[in-house]
Each structure stands twice: as C-alpha cells, then as structure tokens.
Structure 1
C-alpha cells in the first residue's frame, strides 16, 4: 500500500486540524503549516504531526516550504488548503470597505492556494497522481452571512480557481475539488458570528438547515478524506456542499 504525503494548511482553525487528524488516521503522512506563533505551536503540539510555519501569502516562503517538505519528508501527493477565513474582519457598508482589508482576505483565501499549487504540482505531475482540495464556503456560491464583501468575493474566486486548476491538471492524474462548508463552529470568528445572531437568529439559521444542526469540523474532514482518497479518482472540478442541506 502506498503511503501518501499530505500538506494541510490552516491547522490553527478547527477545520484544518480535523482534516489533519483524519488524513493521518487514514494512513497518510501529514505535515501541517500555519503562521508562526503560539497558536500554531499549540495546535501542532496537539496534533503531534510534523509542523513547519510559513506565511502562505508570500510566494517565496511557500516555495521554501515546498522544498523543505520535499527534502525532509518527500514531495506531497495531497494538498488541502484549509487556511483562509475573515482575518478578524466584520461586515461593513460598501462605502467603508478598506482596500488593504479587502486584499488581505484575498491573499489568504485565494493567493495562497495559487502559490501552494505552483510549488507542489510539478512533483505531482511527475508522479502522475495528486489530490488538491480547497476549502471554499457556502459564501462562494451565494451571498455571505458574514456581510464581508471581500470574503464572499474571495470564496467565489476560489471556486473559479479550483475549476480552472481541475481543467489544467486532470490530464496529469491530479484531481482538484473544493468543499463548501455550511455554518461550522470551528474557530473564535465563527463563535462570535454565532453569538451575534442571538437566539432568534440562531433558531432561524438552524431551521434553514435540513439536518437541523450546525456542522462540526469532523463533517468537513470526512469529505476531505473522500476527495483525497483512491475512490474519488474520477471526481474533479467539483464543489461539494457540506452544509446539512440549506434552504
């Protein structure tokens, strides 16, 4: 049995950490990355997996990360882009959207996926096998509950990038798919958003979900395990909504 090497980004958040745990449990050699700092050190300690800090918005840092992983662990066959989010931003009126804030959300949600793909795809092409999974959002398919213009625009862009990469890379045995989570309580930002809804808003949201519950990070990890596994070899360019059903 071939042991696959996976790079999972954004493991400070609950979704990234859950994916890293699940892929490791399924037999992959998992390397994790996120921004350097105490939060990453703590997350890496809990996961117990090789951890390399990197600024994924910096193409030079991403190239160095890819080279270091290839040297120390072998070139990754699997890339799961779980880094992203709102960067502590909140919804603002259109007139108040700050250009720097706008670009910072695009940098981590879209640019990082491009840089990581550029760094890791050449080895996947040589091997004739690869799996790339992006974590988009329901906000990449419809307006965002966050009210943050940049977040929904970036997630829509990530969906487009996923489909374009699938078209380009499928001939090399590389599949590229995206998971679009619904509302998952996975990090402080989502907890703040949930609290901000208040009891009435929370009830309304739950009633829109067919399964009548919020998502959990393990729900997203299960989807990632499938998309990166052997049984999804003819599934590419797809956006898998993992949201309990949304009305």
Structure 2
C-alpha cells in the first residue's frame, strides 16, 4: 500500500509528544497539510522542529481541547472555512493523576479526565462535521486505550471510564455520519512508552513488573508511537473506505 495524503487537510490533537507527534509527522511525511495542536507549547515546538528535520512542515497552535470556542476558531483557521479531510482526536491522558481508592477521587479530578478525553473529541467532531458533510467525505479517528476495552493498568477509574465512553462515541458517530460519507473509527493502543507519564508508569513497575508486562504480550515486546501512527494512517486512507465504527487494538496481542 502506498498511502498518501497530498492536498488533504489533517488535524491532530495532543501533538506535543508521543502518539500525537508520531501521527503528525507521519501525515506530514505523506504530503498532508497538517494542523497540530496541544496545550504544551514547548512540546509543540519540538514536534515542529522534528518535522523540519524530516524535510516537511507543520502548522502548530496552542489549543485547549476542553474549550469549545478555541476549537471552533482553530478548525476555522485550519480549514479556511472549506475543508478538513481527517481529524485525529488523540488528546487525552491522565493529567498527572495516579491510581487511588474510589472514595478519594474528587469531582474535579473525575471531570478533568473526562474533559480532555471525551469532551475534546466531541467538540472537535462537532466542529469538523459540517465541513465534512458539505464535501460528503471525511475521516475521524479517535485514540482510546486498552483501558477502554478492559481495565486501566494504573487503576484510574476516570481514565478507563472516559476511554470506554470515547469508544461509545465512535460507534454512535459512525452511524450518524455514515450517510454523509464520513467514517469514524478508533485505535486502542496497548502500553507504549511514549511520553513522560508512561515513562513514570514503566519505572514504577520495577524490573519484575516490567518483565511480567512484556511477557503478557503475544509478541513479547512493547510497541512504539509509530505503530499507533500506522493504524491511524490506515483508517484515514482510501483503503479503509468501507470500514467505520470499528475499534482496532494495537497492543502486540493480548
């Protein structure tokens, strides 16, 4: 498969590191006009630098995915009011939270994780849908987690719940937007050492826990951010034109 996105406008959220950075660079390398956003300005600058080093370019903007007005303004700028071909809702995570007993979780902590993992995906889909409908074409790819299909390795209740909610949103939007030629799919990564949070999580397991985690993977190795990006590229490509409402686990085999 020779997957290219020449002339296409692609939006990637959460692009300051990890999956979002790898996804942004992969689309840019294949000819897309990439608009990458995050709240982490320094991380975005590094993503932009890496794009230049590979001989491509990115448009980067600081955007809070929980702020609907910021999202609307960003999508308007990126699209020129005309087109967004691909939306990748990658922004998410645990926001520095750690696993704690249920009764210790504050209302603010619960809603914060839902805000970045679910609300952001919903707001961005709302913003691009009219543009995609007008062109009768579009791809939306949400990045969830194995935690949304099972349980969270960190024990963070809100994270597992939010990722499961995002998968539900994917399936619902697939049916709503399908008549307009828009596909909506989901990539559920397994554990990947991709950012400072996952590095801390990896170190917390210790040597024995790390060995146990890897041994629980069919392929007996951890994946990379590029593995996740490859799945996104497929869903966004012409080869996935008759695939929608699906969740693809990219986890080395469980």
- Report the TM range for the smaller structure's normalisation: over 0.9
Q: 2:226 aligns with which of 192, 198, 218?
A: 218
- The CA distance in 2 between the partners of 1:8 and 1:62, in whole Å, is 12
Deviations 1:152-197 (A, max 9, x none): 0000000000000001001111000000000111000000001101
**CA shift for structure 1 position 33:** 0.6
Paired residue for 1:4?
Answer: 8
Deviations 1:87-124 (A, max 9, x none): 01100011101110111100010000000001011010
- The CA distance in 1 between the partners of 2:22 and 2:6, in whole Å, is 22
Contact 2:183 2:245 in 1 (8 A): yes
- The CA distance in 2 between the partners of 1:24 and 1:154, in whole Å, is 29
Contact 1:57 1:108 in 2 (8 A): yes
Q: 1:242 aligns with which of 217, 235, 250?
A: 250
Structure 2's unaligned 5+ residue stretches are 52-56
Paired residue for 1:57?
Answer: 66
- The CA distance in 2 between the partners of 1:67 and 1:31, in whole Å, is 11
DSSP-derived class of the 1:51 partner: strand
Deviations 1:13-42 (A, max 9, x none): 210111111112222211111115323333
Q: 2:75 aligns with which of 49, 66, 75?
A: 66
Contact 1:66 1:75 in 2 (8 A): no
**Is 1:35 aligned to residue 39 of structure 2?**
yes
Contact 2:72 2:127 in 1 (8 A): yes
**Is 1:132 aligned to residue 140 of structure 2?**
yes
Q: 2:20 aligns with which of 4, 13, 16?
A: 16
**Is 1:179 aligned to residue 183 of structure 2?**
no
Q: Alpha carbon RMSD of aligned pairs, Å?
A: 1.3
**CA shift for structure 1 position 66:** 1.1
- The CA distance in 1 between the partners of 2:243 and 2:251, in whole Å, is 19
- The CA distance in 1 between the partners of 2:174 and 2:208, in whole Å, is 41
Moved over 6 A (4+): none
DSSP-derived class of the 1:52 partner: strand
**CA shift for structure 1 position 4:** 1.3
Using the size of structure 1 for normalisation, the TM-score is 0.96
Paired residue for 2:169?
Answer: 161
Using the size of structure 2 for normalisation, the TM-score is 0.93
- The CA distance in 2 between the partners of 1:13 and 1:238, in whole Å, is 25
Greater shift after overlay, 32-41 or 210-219? Answer: 32-41
Contact 2:6 2:31 in 1 (8 A): no
DSSP-derived class of the 1:133 partner: strand
Q: 1:204 aligns with which of 212, 215, 219?
A: 212
